[in-house]
C-alpha cells in the first residue's frame, strides 16, 4: 500500500472507531469521555506508527509494529495515557514481594473499556460482528490480563449481558444500576 493510502485508511479507521465509542459512551451518559476518547491516537508517536504499520483496517497496526520491532511504541504511549485501558492501572502493590497487580478502576473507565471493546470488535470485524464477539475475544485472551477483581467482575458482567441479552439490556443496566456521576475521574 502507498503511504497516502495508509494515511487515509488509518485516519478513517480511527475516526470510525471514535464515532462508535462516542455513540456508546453517550448511551452510557458519559458525554465528556465520549468526546475525548482516544485523543492520544492523533499524537505523532501513535499516529505515524499507525500509518506505517497500517494493515487495511482488518487488524491493529500495533500488532504489526510489535511483530516488526518486538514492541509497539504506539501502544506503550497509548495505554499510558488512556484510563479506559486496564494496563494503565497496573502498579506495584504496597507489599513489594507481591509485585505488580491491577488497581481498582473507577466504574466510568470500566464502562469506557466496555464501549471500546464493542467498537474495536465492530471496527475490525465489520462483516462478522455479533454481540457475543467482544466476550469471545475477552475470553480468548483473559489468561494474561492483570486486572483488579472489581474491574474483572464488572467488565465480565457487561460482556456477558451484551452477549446474552444485547446492547439495549447492557446499556439499561449501565444507566440504571451504576453510579457513574459519582465515579472518580482522577
Residue with cell 480511527: 14
| pLDDT(175) > 90 | yes
Distance between CA atoms of 184 and 146, rounded to whole angstroms? 21
The 3-state DSSP class for residue 101 equals: strand
Domain of 46? 3-182
The reported pLDDT for the residue numbered 185 is 81
Work out how many domains the chain is built from and give that number: 1
Q: What is the pLDDT of residues 124-173, one digit of tens each?
A: 888 899 999 999 999 999 999 999 999 999 999 999 999 999 999 999 99
CB 10 within 8 A of CB 54: yes
The reported pLDDT for the residue numbered 93 is 87
CB 181 within 8 A of CB 136: no
| Alpha-carbon distances of 181 from 28, 79, 150, 184, rounded to whole Å | 11, 24, 18, 8
Amino acid at each position: 500500500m502507498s503511504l497516502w493510502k495508509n494515511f487515509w485508511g488509518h485516519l478513517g479507521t480511527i475516526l470510525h472507531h471514535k464515532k462508535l465509542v462516542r455513540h456508546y459512551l453517550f448511551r452510557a451518559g458519559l458525554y465528556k469521555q465520549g468526546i475525548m476518547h482516544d485523543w492520544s491516537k492523533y499524537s505523532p508517536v501513535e499516529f505515524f506508527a499507525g500509518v506505517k504499520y497500517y494493515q487495511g483496517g482488518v487488524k491493529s497496526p500495533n500488532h504489526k509494529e510489535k511483530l516488526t520491532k518486538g514492541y509497539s511504541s504506539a501502544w506503550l504511549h497509548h495505554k499510558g495515557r488512556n484510563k479506559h485501558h486496564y494496563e494503565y492501572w497496573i502498579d506495584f502493590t504496597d507489599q513489594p514481594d507481591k509485585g505488580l497487580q491491577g488497581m481498582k478502576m473507577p466504574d466510568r473507565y470500566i464502562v469506557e473499556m466496555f464501549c471500546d471493546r464493542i467498537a474495536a470488535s465492530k471496527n475490525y470485524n465489520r462483516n462478522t460482528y455479533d454481540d457475543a464477539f467482544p466476550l469471545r475475544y475477552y475470553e480468548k485472551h483473559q489468561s494474561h490480563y492483570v486486572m483488579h477483581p472489581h474491574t474483572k467482575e464488572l467488565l465480565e458482567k457487561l460482556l456477558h449481558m451484551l452477549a446474552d441479552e444485547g446492547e439495549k439490556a447492557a446499556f439499561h443496566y449501565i444507566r440504571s444500576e451504576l453510579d457513574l456521576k459519582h465515579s472518580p475521574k482522577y
